[in-house]
Structure 1
Amino acid sequence: MRPVRLSVVTAATAVAALTAVTGCAEKSDAKAGGGDTIQVTATDSSCKVSTTEFPAGHVQFAVQNKGSKVTEVYLLFPDDRIVAERENIGPGLSSTLTAEVKAGSYEIACKPGMKGSGIRQKVTVSGGKAVKRDPKLDAAVAAYRKYVQAQADATMPKVKVFTDAVRKGDLAAARKAYAPSRIGWERTEPVAESFGDIDPKTDTRADGLEKGQKWTGWHRLEKALWQDEKIGATEKTLATQLDKDLADWQRRVGTAEITPTSMANGAKELLDEVATGKVTGEEERYSHTDLVDFKANLEGAQQAYELLKPVASKNDPALTEELDQQFGSLTKLLDHYRTDKTGYDFVSYDKVSEKDRKGLSDAVNALAEPLSKLAAAVVSK
C-alpha cells in the first residue's frame, strides 16, 4: 500500500515499470459469481461501480483508471481489512482483479494518488453458489498460513537484534542488522497489509505519511542511521515501538483472511512492490539495501506461486510454463548482484547503474505480466 514516489533520476524507470506491470486496457468477458464482470471506473474524484449488488463466489473486477493520477482499488471489509486490492494503476490504464468473496457487506475504495482512505462505494454480496475448490487449493492455503506465520516468528528475533543495537546506540551494529530484520516482512507483506493498520506504523516512508500521521517504523530509523548518522532518545523510543507493533503483527497474522485468489493476488502485489519501490531505489533510499527487499519480495511471490502451481498448471499449463521460466530468469539476474553465494549480502543499490536498473525492471515486468493471470488460473473451471 505504498505510493509510487519518483525521483528525477528514477522517474523514467518507474514510469516504464508502472506501465508494464499494470498492463494496457483490455476487454474481459469472464464471469463473476455467475454474473458479468464488475466494472470499476476510477477518476480523480469518483469511484463508479457497475453494480452495488452481486452474488458471492469468484468475482472478477475490471478496473479502469480514467483519472490523471496513479490509483489503486480495494475491496474492503467494513472494518477496513483488505479482501483484495490492485495497486499502481496508471492514468489511462486498466487492470483486472479476481477474488473469492463471501456474502456480506463490503466497500470498494478507489484511491487517486494512492493517498488517504479513498473514494468509497458500499456494495452488498448476496449468497451465491458455494465456491468449488480443488482440495489441492485448501492444502495450498493451509501451507501458506504456516509459511506466513513462520516468517513472522522468524522475524522477531532478527528485529530484536536490530532494535537492541539501536537502544544501545551502536550505529554500526544497527546498520548491519537493519536489512535482515526486514526479510520475513518483505516476503509476506501483502498479508501484513491486509490488516490495514500495521503497515502504516512499521513500513511507511516520509513521503507516504497521511495528514497528522506520526512517522514511526523501520524507515524512520533507517533515516536516522544513514542520513542523520546518530541515535538519540527518540530513536531508542522508536525502536521499542517497532518491537511492539511487529509483535502485534506476529500475533494477528494467523487470523488473516487467506484464499487461493488472495495468495495469487498477493504474489502480484509483491512484484508491484519491486517494480515501483525497489527497482527505483525509493524503498531504501538511505541504506540502499533495496536488493535485499527485492530478493525477499521475489521469494514470497514464488512461494505463493509454487503452492498454487499444481492447480494452475492443470487449468493453464502454458501460463505456469511461462511463470517457471520468468521466475528462473529474474532469480538468476538478481543473483548477479550478490556479494556472497547463498546469503543476503547484495551490492549497495546506489552502485547499480541506470542501465542495470533498466535490465532489472525489464525482468520484473516480464514476470509481473503473466503473474497477474495467476488468480484467474486457480479458479475452478
Structure 2
Amino acid sequence: MSVAEAVPNLLICLREGLEAGLVVTILLAAVRRLATPERPVSTTPVWLGVLGAVSVAGSFAAVLTYSTAALTSSARAAVAGVLSVLAVALVTAMIFWMRRTGASLSGQLRGEVARAAGLGAGVLAVTAFLAVGREGLETTLFVWTAIKAAGSTAAPLVGAALGLLIAFALCWLLFRQSVRLNLGVFFNRTAVLLIVIAAGVLAYGLGDLQEAGWLPGARWIAFDLTAHIDPNSWWVSIITGVTNLSPKMTVLQVVAWIAYLATVIPLFLRAGRTEPTEPAKAEPATAEPAPAASASDDEAHHADWWERVAGPRPVLVGATLVLVPVVAAAVAIALLPSADSGTARKVTVTADHCAPEWTSAVTGTQTISVHNSSGKSGEIDLVDADGAIAGEIENIGPGTTAELTATLNPGSYTIVCLLSGSPALSSPRVQATGPQTDAPQAFKPIRASDLRGPNDAYQSYVRQVLPRLTAAVGAVGRDLRARNIPAAQADWLLAQQEWERVGASYNSFGDAGTAVDGLPGGLPEGVDDPGFTGLHRLEYGLWHGQSPEQLLPVIDKLGADITAIGDNLTSTDIAGKPTTLPIRAHEILEDALRDHLSGLDDLGAGAAYPMTLADVEVTRAVLDQLGSLLDTRDPKLRPELTAKLDTLRTALLATQDNGRWRAPAQTPHAARQAVLAAIGGALESLDRVPRLLETRAN
C-alpha cells in the first residue's frame, strides 16, 4: 500500500472533517446558549441533522460505486471524468468560500440557529443537515474521484479514514479547550497543497473523458516517460500518489494542469490580500454567541412550507433526513442493470502467474475482473487462438483491479499479462463453448514491422513534395527581388500549401519542422525574435509591410532548413517511426482544426481554408498508404472516410469568392459552420484509424 496515495484523501478529509466539526461545535454552542429555564432548547435536532447529512454522503458514495460498476468501461471513464471535473469545481469553490467567510462563519451560523430555534426543533434539524451536508457531499465526491484515480488500493480509503479521525479528535479537543489552533492559518496554508491535488484530479478526469471519446486528443501525447523511468519506483509512486500525475500524459492534461494552477493560486493569494479577514478560531461550547433574536410573528407567517411542517416534528424530520437518502440510494442501485457486474469472473496476476483462475469460458459478453498483485504495472490482453485480441486492459497499476470486457465466439482463448520489465505470462488456454454471437471480428495486433512498408511509402511521398516546396519558396524569393509583393504573397500561399502536404502534424518533425513552420509564441521577443524563422515569419513580413531586404535572409535560411529535412527524413523524430503513421492519419486534420480554423497560426494571410484543403490531400495520401491494413480490419472505413473528406473538400471550396480564398472572418457564417461540421465528422471517423492499427512490440 502506497503512503503517497493516502495523502490527498487524508488532506481533504482532515480539512472537510475539521470544517464540519467546527460547524457542529458552533451549532451546539449556539443552541445551548439559546436555552433558558423558561424555554429549553434540546441539542437532539442538531444531532439528527448531522446524522441525516452522514446518511446523504454515505448513500451518494454507494450510488457512485455501484452505478459505475454496472456500466461499460468507456461509460465508467466518462462518469469518472465528469465527476472528477465536478469535484475539482466544488473543492475550488470550497477553498475560496473558506478564504472569504472563515472569520464570519460563527456569526452566520448563530443567526441561522436563532431563527431555526424560533421556528421549531424540526427546522433546527434541517439547518444542521444543510450546514453539514455540503461538506459531506464535497468530501464524498472528491474522495471517490481520488480512489478511482489510484485504482483499488486501500491507501486512499486509509488516508480518508485517518483524515476524518484526526479532524474529529481535533474538534473534540478544541471543544474541550484542550488545544489551541489558528484555524485560519491552517486552512489557508493547506489550501495551496489542496489546489495542487485538485489540479492533478482535473488532469486525471480530463484523461478519462479523452479515453471515453468525449474529448479529442487522446493520442496527442505531451510526454511518455514510461520507457525511461520505472513507474513502480518509490519516487514515481510518491509523485503520482500525491499529485495524481502520471508518467504518460496527453497535451490536454498537461495544459489543463498548468492552466488550473496558474489561474487558481494567484486568485487565491489575491483574495487573501484584497479581502483580509481575522483568522478563524475554534469556538468552544462555552463561547458567548450573539444575542439570540427569536423569530417574529411576521417571520413565522412567511416561513417556507417545510418550516411550518417541520417545526413541531423533530423526530419525524430527523427520521426523514436519515431514511430517505438510504431508500433512494437502494432504489437507484436496485434499478441499475446488474447482469455484467454479477457475472464478472475474478482472476489475479502475480509476478509469476497470469490469471490461473481462467479455467472455463462461454460465448457472449464476458466481464473479467483482473486484480494485479504483481507489484508492477502492465497490460492485460484476452487473445484467441490466432493471437487476435478480443479484449484488453491497456494499463493496470500495481495493487489495483480493473475490468476487461469482451464478446466471445466459439474458440479457444488465453489471457496474456505484459508486465513492466518482465517476460510475457499466459493463463491456461480455455475453450469458449456456446452459440455463435455477433461479436466484432478480432484482429492480430499490428507490429511495427507491419508499418514499415507504409512508412517507407510515406517518406517516398514526402521526398516528392519537398522539391515542390523548395521551388515555391524560390519563387517567393524571386518575387521579393523584383519587389513584387502581391506575387510574393500568392507564391507564399503555394509554398505554405506544399508544406501542409508534407503532413508534419503537431510539430512531428521536431526542431527541423519548427524552423520551417514555427510560430512566435513562447519566443522572448515574439515576432521580432531572431529565433522566429520559416514560412510564418515570411507571412508576417509580407502582410505587415516589411521590405524585401528584411525578408530575403529568411528565404535563404528557409531553403537550407527544407534541405535539412530531406537529408535527415528517416531520422527526424516521428517521421522516421513507423508506429506513428496511423496517428498521423488523424492528427493532420486535428492540427488543422486546432491551428488553422481557430486562427492560431494566422499572421496576416487569412489562409486557413486553402491550408486545410492541402491537409485533406495529405490525409488521403496517408490513408492510401495504410489502405491494405485498414481494409483487412474494417472494409467499410475507407469508403466512409472518402465520403467525409469529399464533404470537407466541398465545404472548403465553397468559402471562395469567385475563385479567391476568403479569410474565415470574411466568410459567411453558414459556410464557416459547414466547414467546422465537415471537419468534425471527418475527425470522428479518422479517430478509428489509430485504434484499429494500435501496435505491439515485435
Aligned AA (1:209)? G
Which of 507, 510, 522 matches 1:209? Answer: 522
Pick from 147, 154, 169 the counterpart of residue 461 of structure 2.
Answer: 147
Paired residue type of 2:462: V
Aligned equivalent of 2:619 = 301
8 Å CA contact 2:589–2:615 kept in 1: the answer is yes
How many angstroms does 1:360 deviate by? 0.4
1:193 to 480, 500, 507: 507
**Quick one: distance in 1 between partners of 2:423 and 2:675?**
43
Q: 2:536 aligns with which of 192, 196, 219?
A: 219
Which has the larger Rg?
A: 2
- Distance in 1, matches of 2:545 and 2:506, equals 29
1:243 aligns with 2:365: no
Corresponding residue pairs, total: 297
Contact kept, 8 Å, 1:289 with 1:348, in 2: the verdict is: yes
**Structure 2 CA distance for aligned equivalents of residues 325 and 366 of structure 1:** 10
- Of 673, 678, 689, which aligns to 1:358? 673
Which stretch of structure 1 is more off in the superposition, 228-237 or 252-261?
252-261
Matching residue within 590, 610, 613 for 1:272? 590
Structure 1 residue 290: Cα displacement: 1.9
Deviations 1:293-334 (A, max 9, x none): 111111111111122122212212343343232122212222
Q: After superposition, where does 1:113-132 map in structure 2 within 5 Å?
A: 113=255
For the Cα contact (< 8 Å) 1:224–1:235, is it kept in 2?
yes
**Structure 1 residue 28: Cα displacement:** 5.4
Letter in 1 for 2:678: A
Tell me which residue corresponds to 2:550.
Answer: 234
| Per-residue deviation, 1:285 | 4.1
Cα RMSD for the two superposed structures: 4.4
Change beyond 3 A, Cα 1:126–1:202: farther
- Report the equivalent of 1:325: 643
Written as runs of structure 1 = structure 2, the 5 A alignment for 1:1-381 is: 27=73, 67=202, 93=215, 95-97=217-219, 105=228, 108=248, 111=251, 112-113=254-255, 133=447, 137-190=451-504, 193-206=507-520, 208-211=521-524, 214-226=531-543, 228-256=544-572, 257=574, 258-259=576-577, 261-338=579-656, 346-379=661-694
TM superposition shift of 1:266: 1.0
Q: Is the 8 A contact 2:505 2:588 kept in 1?
A: no
Q: CA deviation at 1:186?
A: 0.7
C-alpha distance in structure 2 between counterparts of 1:259 and 1:273, whole Å = 19
Q: What is the rounded CA distance, in whole Å, between the counterparts of 1:351 and 1:312 in structure 2? A: 39
Check whether the contact 1:163–1:243 (CA below 8 A) recurs between aligned residues.
Answer: no
Distance in 1, matches of 2:570 and 2:658, equals: 34
Distance 1:67 1:223, change over 3 A: farther
Whose strand fraction is larger, Structure 1's or Structure 2's? 1
CA distance in 1, matches of 2:150, 2:470: 44
SS across alignment from 1:197: helix
- Name the structure where helix makes up a greater proportion of residues: 2
Identity %: 17
Q: Distance in 2 between matches of 1:356 and 1:191?
A: 25
- The whole-number CA distance in structure 2 between the counterparts of 1:365 and 1:312 is 21
Secondary structure of 2:218 counterpart:
strand
**Displacement of 1:265 after TM fit?**
1.0
- Paired residues of 1:171 and 1:230 also in contact (CA < 8 A): no
Consecutive unaligned residues in structure 2, runs of 5 or more = 1-71, 76-83, 89-148, 152-198, 230-246, 259-377, 379-418, 425-443
Higher RCO (C-alpha under 8 Å, 6+ residues apart): 1
Cα separation, partners in 2 of 1:127 and 1:308, compared to 1, 3 Å: farther
**TM-score (norm: length of structure 2):** 0.37
Residue 268 (structure 1) shift: 1.3
**Please, what TM-score do these two structures have when normalized by structure 1?**
0.63
